């Protein structure tokens, strides 16, 4: 019992003639430990009152207690999860007012639901769907409720000597927990505030003060440390296990080489003149680029009959391809040229007539990431009706001899590209999905130094900015090579050697 | 060793002639990849939309891969099937798309096509259903053997994928 009394209303201070030990009771109650009240002791002594197996169990326990020293608690007793009083006590806490109809139904619902949850939860696969849910099922399924175990600690607040009267029972504390780690304590801990007041009914209205304190021992520092070490150990072991599955290494390109990888699909083609389209494509690698011999640089899609989508006829290819190339930059000041994909769209018909539908190209993007690119196409046109008739009746149409003419012809060396006099007709468009990845050793150093993303040639060159060991070594190797070459060519012809040196230094 | 998480869903499909559809899906990778957790293939339920054309599956995808190299990036292989009211299933399309290689949330539309038969086969397909299927779908996974295969365009499958990449920057991968 508490020792502070509120003086707002006129309570009297009673001196009890009983010994102090009757008024003071100290108990340690275990979780779901059943302590009987006086009323229950008397009730369960009588075997006729036992209706459920739980009652019979209580009966045997009470008899055993009576044969032994008697119960160790006097006023404080508990209602555990299994007792039938548990569900109704939720609203009996409201002293003075009777529970409303809805509150009663709700309490019985939650109790019933938590009951059902404790039953084995494995449902056979054939019974996933309940085709004819009853109204009860529908009502109870609305409530999202974790299964909770409840325990009520009650106090018998009757006058001393007259314990065991049902009306004097009062709910002191309700503790609910679910298996996961949530504990609900009602009423909450006092935390230094004034204790709760419980007023009893009856002739002598007594006021009891209830203090709820959290006296659980906190985890000691070294125990906490031990727990943390255990977690860390667990994670390290899991990481080692993962490593052992795959291995620690990762395939890296050699030093000074950029690996450029594109995973993409040819998605669709639309807006072309004829039906039954297919695409024939190949990739072109500029200077300083190389690829593995196993890499196929060309491909043909399947022949697809178009369907009408909106206003256009579209053919779906869904053709995945994967392209990998390596870039080795010799000179630092050069801007790299990216590979190009040249494609042409053709149509075949039932009579095996092939027609060129369009030429196009796709420049692979320099920025890694996801790109959805739509390329427009054209086809060469010969003016005059003869070629149009030829195309319509027997198929065949003028084709490009050098497909790189679509972009910049391979043989082009001048300054200005002129396509004057070349007739074409606009045809449809082709859509590509590209996912580009770049990998190089220098990128590792860049992320280590936490630099912002720079342009590619800055990263591959510019060893003065980064100071990375490997780039310094590379530069040293290059300089050494140059010097060796210069020294070799020097005795042969002095003049040509100096001009060679000049060429190299200006490059 | 780098890790890749693919977390998302197969949202649904639209644009097919009839809309009582289900999807068989699978993820294929190269030899350097290892699936640490998650199911890499499955089959959705049959969805019959009441209104509209799109059949929604909302089929969850949760994959965790570890890899030793960039080759063989995972890609999806989808087969859309139609189940009619007699319980017969017929193929409505094959679709393939790569898993994105940049981290973040991606909305992917994967188009599909199905093999086309002769005039007689198409005629009977209209009445009886069935139709051509690839005898071995593995042949078309790489795309290399599709020459002279006659197909027709079908609908589109929508996927929403979230990609999380781990330790790729340690090995100098930019994406």
Which CATH number goes with the domain that contains B37? 2.60.40.150
Q: Is the pTM of this model over 0.90?
A: no
State the residue range of the domain holding A369: 257-441
The answer to which of A150-154, A213-217, A317-321, B36-40 has the lowest mean pLDDT is: A213-217
Whether A305 sits inside 8 A of B69 (CB atoms) is: no
A117 pLDDT more than 60: no
Q: How many angstroms from the chain centroid is the CA of residue A361?
A: 38
Question: Two tokens at A169?
Answer: 């029972």
Whether B151 sits inside 8 A of A303 (CB atoms) is: yes
pLDDT at site B109: 95
Q: Are residues A79 and A155 in the same domain?
A: yes
B77 pLDDT more than 90: yes
Whether A263 sits inside 8 A of B101 (CB atoms) is: yes
- Quick one: DSSP state of residue A188? P
pLDDT-based confidence at A67, cuts 50/70/90? confident
A96 pLDDT more than 50: no
A365 pLDDT more than 70: yes
B105 in contact with A, Cβ within 8 Å: no
Q: Are A100 and A90 in contact (CB under 8 A)?
A: no
Question: Two tokens at A419?
Answer: 């396509």
pLDDT-based confidence at A464, cuts 50/70/90? very low
- The pLDDT mean for chain B works out to 89
Q: Are residues A164 and A274 in the same domain?
A: no
Q: Are residues A180 and A275 in the same domain?
A: no
Q: Are residues A202 and A269 in the same domain?
A: no
Q: What is the CATH number of the domain that holds A267?
A: 2.60.40.150
A465 pLDDT more than 80: no
The count of residues in chain B is 175
A157 pLDDT more than 60: yes
Q: Residues A367-398: pLDDT tens digits? A: 999 999 999 999 998 888 888 898 888 888 88
Q: Are residues A177 and A293 in the same domain?
A: no
pLDDT at site A496: 58
Whether A259 sits inside 8 A of B175 (CB atoms) is: no
Q: Look at the block and give the residue holding tokens 């106090």.
A: A155
Q: Which helix (H) or strand (E) holds A35?
A: none
pLDDT at site A262: 94
Residue A201 within any structural domain of the chain: yes
A431 in contact with B, Cβ within 8 Å: no
B68 in contact with A, Cβ within 8 Å: yes
**Chain A residue whose CA is closest to B30:** A322
Nearest to A209 by CA among A200, A201, A221: A200
Q: Look at the block and give the residue holding tokens 């082009």.
A: A412
B88 in contact with A, Cβ within 8 Å: no
Number of domains in chain A: 2
The answer to which of A4-8, A38-42, A478-482, B156-160 has the lowest mean pLDDT is: A4-8
d(CA A232, CA A238): 10
Q: Residues A239-264: pLDDT tens digits? A: 788 777 767 778 888 888 889 999 99
* Among candidates A320, A437, A442 on the partner chain, residue whose Cβ is nearest the Cβ of B101: A437
B164 in contact with A, Cβ within 8 Å: no
**Chain A residue whose CA is closest to B103:** A369
Domain boundary among A159, A189, A217: A217
Question: Two tokens at A78?
Answer: 């508990």
Nearest-Cα distance to chain A for B52, in Å, is 16
A144 pLDDT more than 80: no
- ipTM of the complex in this document: 0.92
Q: Are residues A203 and A285 in the same domain?
A: no
Q: Are residues A197 and A277 in the same domain?
A: no
Q: Are residues A88 and A175 in the same domain?
A: yes
B36 in contact with A, Cβ within 8 Å: yes
Residue A386 within any structural domain of the chain: yes
Residues paired with B4 in a beta bridge: B65, B165
Q: How far is CA A279 from CA A261, A264, A267, A346, in A?
A: 21, 15, 11, 6
pLDDT-based confidence at A9, cuts 50/70/90? very low
**Chain A residue whose CA is closest to B34:** A246
Domain boundary among A185, A201, A217: A217
B117 in contact with A, Cβ within 8 Å: no
B131 in contact with A, Cβ within 8 Å: no
d(CA A62, CA A81): 18
Whether B101 sits inside 8 A of A316 (CB atoms) is: no
Nearest to A40 by CA among A164, A174, A163: A164
A8 pLDDT more than 50: no
Q: Report helix, strand or coil for A392.
A: helix
A457 pLDDT more than 70: no
Report the share of chain A in percent with pLDDT over 70: 72
Whether B96 sits inside 8 A of A265 (CB atoms) is: yes
d(CA B131, CA B122): 7
Domain boundary among A441, A459, A476: A441
Number of domains in chain B: 1
Q: How far is CA A361 from CA A277, A414, A417, A431, in A?
A: 17, 21, 17, 11
User: CB neighbours of A380 closer than 8 A, spacing ≥ 6?
Assistant: A356, A359, A397, A398, A399, A400, A422, A423, A424
**Chain B residue whose CA is closest to A308:** B153
Whether B146 sits inside 8 A of A436 (CB atoms) is: no
* Among candidates A250, A314, A436 on the partner chain, residue whose Cβ is nearest the Cβ of B1: A250
Nearest to A258 by CA among A2, A443, A54: A443
State the residue range of the domain holding B133: 2-171
A449 in contact with B, Cβ within 8 Å: no
Whether A263 sits inside 8 A of B98 (CB atoms) is: yes
Q: Look at the block and give the residue holding tokens 């006058």.
A: A159
pLDDT at site B174: 83
Residue A500 within any structural domain of the chain: no
Computed from CA positions of residues A434, A439, A442, A447, in that sequence, does the dihedral angle turn out positive or negative?
Answer: positive
Winning range, highest mean pLDDT, from A65-79, A93-107, B74-88: B74-88
Instruction: List chain B residues with CB under 8 Å of A440.
Output: 172, 174
Q: Are residues A190 and A311 in the same domain?
A: no
Q: Are residues A194 and A263 in the same domain?
A: no
> Can you list the positions of beta strands (E) in A277-350?
277-284, 289-290, 298-300, 303-305, 307-309, 312-328, 340-348
Residue A471 within any structural domain of the chain: no
Q: How far is CA A381 from CA A122, A386, A422, in A?
A: 71, 11, 8
> Can you list the positions of beta strands (E) in A337-476?
340-348, 354-363, 369-380, 424-439
Residue A17 within any structural domain of the chain: no
Residue A107 within any structural domain of the chain: no
Mutating which of B153, B158, B169 best tests the A interface, going by the most A Cβ atoms within 10 A?
B153
Q: Are A49 and A55 in contact (CB under 8 A)?
A: yes
Nearest to A3 by CA among A17, A27, A20: A20
Computed from CA positions of residues A272, A274, A277, A283, in that sequence, does the dihedral angle turn out positive or negative?
Answer: negative
* Among candidates B66, B150, B152 on the partner chain, residue whose Cβ is nearest the Cβ of A246: B66
Instruction: List chain B residues with CB under 8 Å of A265.
Output: 96-98
Instruction: List chain A residues with CB under 8 Å of B116.
Output: 305
Q: Are residues A296 and A384 in the same domain?
A: yes
B34 in contact with A, Cβ within 8 Å: yes
Whether A265 sits inside 8 A of B147 (CB atoms) is: no
pLDDT at site A20: 41
Q: Are residues A161 and A211 in the same domain?
A: yes
Instruction: List chain B residues with CB under 8 Å of A238.
Output: none
Q: How many angstroms from the chain centroid is the CA of residue A143?
A: 27
């Amino acid at each position: 019992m508490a020792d502070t009394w509120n003086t707002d209303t006129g309570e009297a201070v009673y001196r009890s003639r009983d010994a102090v030990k009757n008024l003071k009771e100290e108990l340690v109650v275990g979780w779901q430990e059943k302590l009987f009240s006086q009323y229950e002791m008397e009730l369960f002594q009588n075997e006729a009152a036992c209706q459920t197996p739980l009652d019979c169990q209580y009966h045997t326990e009470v008899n055993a207690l009576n044969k032994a020293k008697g119960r160790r608690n006097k006023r404080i007793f508990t209602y555990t999860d299994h007792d039938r009083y548990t569900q109704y006590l939720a609203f009996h806490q409201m002293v003075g007012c009777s529970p409303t109809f809805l509150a009663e139904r709700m309490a019985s619902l939650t109790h019933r639901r938590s009951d059902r949850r404790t039953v084995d939860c494995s449902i056979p696969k054939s019974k996933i769907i309940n085709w004819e849910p009853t109204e009860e099922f529908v009502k109870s399924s609305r409530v999202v409720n974790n299964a909770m175990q409840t325990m009520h600690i009650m106090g018998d607040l009757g006058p001393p000597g007259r314990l065991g009267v049902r009306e004097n029972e009062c709910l002191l504390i309700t503790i609910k927990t679910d298996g996961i780690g949530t504990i609900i304590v009602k009423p909450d801990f006092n935390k230094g505030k004034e204790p709760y007041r419980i007023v009893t009914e009856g002739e002598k209205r007594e006021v009891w003060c209830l203090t709820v304190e959290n006296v659980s021992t906190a985890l000691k520092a070294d125990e906490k440390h031990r727990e943390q070490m255990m977690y860390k150990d667990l994670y390290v072991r899991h990481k080692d296990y993962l490593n052992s599955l795959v291995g620690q290494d990762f395939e890296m390109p050699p030093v000074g080489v950029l690996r450029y990888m594109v995973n993409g699909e040819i998605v669709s083609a639309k807006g072309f003149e004829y039906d039954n389209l297919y695409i024939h494509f190949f990739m072109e690698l500029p200077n300083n680029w190389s690829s593995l011999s196993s890499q196929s640089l060309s491909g043909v899609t399947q022949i697809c009959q178009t369907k009408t989508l909106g206003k256009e006829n579209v053919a779906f290819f869904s053709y995945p391809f994967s392209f990998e190339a390596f870039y080795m930059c010799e000179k630092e000041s050069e801007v790299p040229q990216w590979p190009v994909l040249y494609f042409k769209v053709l149509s075949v018909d039932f009579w095996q007539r092939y027609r060129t539908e369009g030429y196009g190209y796709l420049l692979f993007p320099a920025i890694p990431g996801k790109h959805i690119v739509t390329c427009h196409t054209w086809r060469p046109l010969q003016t005059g009706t003869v070629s149009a008739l030829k195309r319509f009746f027997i198929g065949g149409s003028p084709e490009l001899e050098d497909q790189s003419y679509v972009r910049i012809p391979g043989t082009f060396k001048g300054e200005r590209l002129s396509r004057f006099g070349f007739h074409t007709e606009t045809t449809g468009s082709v859509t590509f999905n590209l996912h580009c990845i770049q990998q190089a050793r220098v990128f590792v150093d860049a992320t280590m130094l936490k630099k912002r993303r720079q342009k590619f040639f800055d990263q591959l060159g510019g060893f003065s900015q980064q100071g990375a060991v490997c780039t310094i070594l590379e530069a040293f190797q290059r300089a050494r090579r140059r010097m060796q070459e210069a020294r070799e060519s020097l005795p042969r012809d002095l003049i040509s050697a100096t001009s060679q040196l000049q060429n190299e230094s200006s490059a | 060793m780098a890790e890749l998480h693919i977390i998302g869903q197969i949202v649904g499909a639209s644009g097919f002639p009839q809309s009582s559809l289900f999807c068989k899906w699978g993820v294929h990778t190269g030899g350097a990849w290892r699936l640490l957790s998650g199911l890499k293939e499955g089959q959705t339920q049959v969805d019959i939309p009441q209104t509209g054309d799109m059949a929604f599956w909302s089929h969850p995808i949760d994959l965790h891969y570890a890899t030793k190299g960039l080759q063989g990036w995972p890609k999806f292989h989808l087969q859309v099937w139609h189940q009619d009211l007699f319980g017969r299933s017929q193929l409505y399309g094959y679709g393939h798309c790569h898993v994105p290689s940049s981290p973040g949330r991606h909305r992917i539309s994967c188009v599909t096509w199905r093999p086309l038969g002769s005039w007689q086969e198409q005629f009977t397909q209209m009445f009886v259903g069935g139709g051509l299927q690839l005898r071995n779908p593995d042949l078309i996974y790489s795309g290399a053997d599709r020459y002279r295969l006659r197909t027709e365009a079908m609908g589109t499958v929508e996927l929403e994928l979230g990609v999380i990449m781990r330790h790729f920057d340690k090995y100098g991968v930019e994406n």
